[in-house]
A = this chain, B = another copy of it.
Amino acid sequence: MLGLMQQWPLLCHKIVDHAARQHGHREIVTRSIEGPIMRTTYGELRERSLKVAQLLTRDGFKRGDRIGTLAWNTGRHLESWYGIMGMGGVYHTLNPRLFPEQIAWIMNHAEDQCLFVDLTFMPIVEAIAPAIQSLKKVIVFTDGAHMPETGLSNVVAYEDWLAGADGDFSWVELDENEACGMCYTSGTTGDPKGVVYSHRSNVLHAMIAALPDAMGVSSRDVILPVVPMFHANAWGLAQTAPLIGAKMVMPGAKMDGASIYELLDTEKVSFTAAVPTVWLMLLQYLEETGKKLPYLNKVVIGGSACPRAMTEKFEKNYGVEVVHAWGMTEMSPLGTLGSIKPEYVELTGDRLFDIKEKQGHSPFGVEMKITDDENIELPWDGKTFGRLKVRGPAVASGYYGGAGADQFDSEDWFDTGDVAHIDPNGYMQITDRAKDVIKSGGEWISTIDLENLAVGHPDVAEAAVIGIAHPKWDERPLLVIVRKQGKEPSREEILQFMEGKIAKWWMPDDVVFVEEIPHTATGKIQKTTLREQFRGYALPSA
């Protein structure tokens, strides 16, 4: 027996329709690439998105076509998304921080038909366009006056192009499971893999993200997504903000402390979200200038673990609530958020920050579990850690073209590649990456825990732990240390410092001192390189 409720597919253009109808005058403020602050509204966003949809259709692009965007967070970028989705297309965000050859590989893999691009990235496009066989048109997010000289063919200034449309267009009616967006994950190994969002997953994710225990944003919020739209939908804010009718403030190309501060202050931003690196720059700027954050209520920090000192600074010095979050491109991206449940609501000081160090709990719509290597579920005791697996309506079921199928099991659980424990109240904490965790005699040792402990030694500048093959235990930990300038701690001093603070069998089998630990472009320790470097290392215990 079926229910007798309306067929009302969850389509992204319904978000922009709602925003225009119920919040038509709410502003979208952009620091434009050309320089000045530009202002538009949800009413205008809808009108201009309809023009984009009309023009893409007139230009011959079709339902299901992938349309690339290589752009900062701006009002124009947002318009292009809703226009692309509204004509049945698939916006495909490209990360400008990748090497041009990687961007070209990804565009060819996705067979992008058209590309919207910011002025900033014209040199990249000019370099790679000839290598993109599918590319038919390039639309530059600017007006005729700012259009640069270019050798590209089939290129047009966005505003000139838009002037040719009257917006007399109806959103294409679609099945809610049709694709609407695409974003490649650039793993540390192997080719990038394409995640394909559906209208349904984007709409559900936007609703989940707005819930009071998730991001908890309302129409009264002013939202500054520093996290780029090319990072998994600006963590969903590109859909969530219009869904709830919140004013948006778009930072364009400038992410330095002074520029972000200026927007936070002049636009009275109440809510923002970004990776820790951005907040390091802002906090440094605030400390240098003595400025405060009177309007900001909440900051969501994710992308990599938020250092405890950062949370404490925001909360104690600036009265800003930090919500630590974790997610993945494959999860649209929200997985967990560290809002405070009633169990912890009375906590203050160190005990509160202990909880805020965890990545948080999953909202309705995100199921999670931890398992051992045999897929046996492990308890939520806040200690036992295992492979973190997730399931939900905004979690990928596979990658474009069938890549990475081994990350999904028969019951649709997606293996995140992270290792985590979960406490009895559902708060998850990442303890390692599955490929980094050390498997010693069938038990797991967290390299991140060992590293955090080692850097606590006053003479240690940086520490990394890797597993070294061992004849008896399979693997044992090797601690790699960069000493602070002018300091000469010995192997024994380091080990003595660690002793008693961890289980005996977690103690590193050896310590080596190096001048430098290899890093990725985003500052993470490059453990693959490190493992390569110490391949065949002879542990004294072996």
Cα distance A281–B197 in the bound complex, in angstroms: 51
The minimal Cβ–Cβ distance linking A359 to chain B, given in whole angstroms, is: 14
Within 8 A of B (CB), among A240-266: 243-245, 247
Is B201 within 8 A of A3, CB to CB?
Answer: yes
Counting CB contacts under 8 A, is A238 at the interface?
no
Q: Which residues of chain B have C-beta atoms less than 8 A from A362's C-beta?
A: 22
The minimal Cβ–Cβ distance linking A530 to chain B, given in whole angstroms, is: 33
The minimal Cβ–Cβ distance linking A368 to chain B, given in whole angstroms, is: 9
Is B244 within 8 A of A5, CB to CB?
Answer: no
Cα distance A368–B207 in the bound complex, in angstroms: 19
Among A22, A63, A179, A207, max chain B CB count under 10 A is at A22
Is B219 within 8 A of A7, CB to CB?
Answer: no
0 or 1 for each of A44-71: is its CB under 8 Å from B? (1 = yes): 0000000000000000000110000000
The minimal Cβ–Cβ distance linking A432 to chain B, given in whole angstroms, is: 23
Counting CB contacts under 8 A, is A396 at the interface?
yes
Is A18 within 8 A of B212, CB to CB?
Answer: no
Is A212 within 8 A of B218, CB to CB?
Answer: yes
0 or 1 for each of A132-171: is its CB under 8 Å from B? (1 = yes): 0000000000000000000000000000000000000000
Cα distance A128–B399 in the bound complex, in angstroms: 58
| Stretch of A99-107, A118-126, A334-342, A436-444 that contacts chain B | A334-342
Cα distance A279–B412 in the bound complex, in angstroms: 48
Is B213 within 8 A of A397, CB to CB?
Answer: no
Cα distance A17–B391 in the bound complex, in angstroms: 13
Counting CB contacts under 8 A, is A494 at the interface?
no
For residue A64, which residue of chain B has the nearest CB? B1
Counting CB contacts under 8 A, is A376 at the interface?
no
Is A397 within 8 A of B4, CB to CB?
Answer: yes
Counting CB contacts under 8 A, is A382 at the interface?
no
Q: Which residues of chain B have C-beta atoms less than 8 A from A10's C-beta?
A: 393
